[in-house]
Amino acid sequence: MMMGADYYQTESEIAFLLAEGKVPVGVGENTKIRNCIIDKNAKIGRNAIITNADGVEEADRTKEGFYIRSGITVILKNATIQDGTVI
């Protein structure tokens, strides 16, 4: 489930951010997500895998922008998950 965003970026803003190596709001290309709640304004990079493949039940990784409760990954509001991240 994805909560959406309070703002959206234009095509030119997205292109600029990608050229700078930054992550725009939303979900990047080739990213795989399963059993996840994504809060508002989250930025998830390209080629990320958010599936909790290891079956972790509980984890607090708030400094990294997420936590896991009852096996469900929650991406925090305004969090940035970098390109290629595996959760």
- What CATH number is given to the structural domain containing 60? 2.160.10.10
- Mean pLDDT within 25-39: 97
How many independent structural domains does the chain possess? Answer: 1
Average pLDDT over residues 47-69: 97
**86 pairs with which residues across the strands?**
49
Q: Is the pLDDT of residue 27 over 90?
A: yes
- The whole domain housing 59 covers 11-81
In a domain, 17, yes or no: yes
Beta strands (DSSP E) in 1-87 are 26-27, 32-33, 36-38, 43-44, 49-50, 58-61, 66-69, 72-75, 80-81
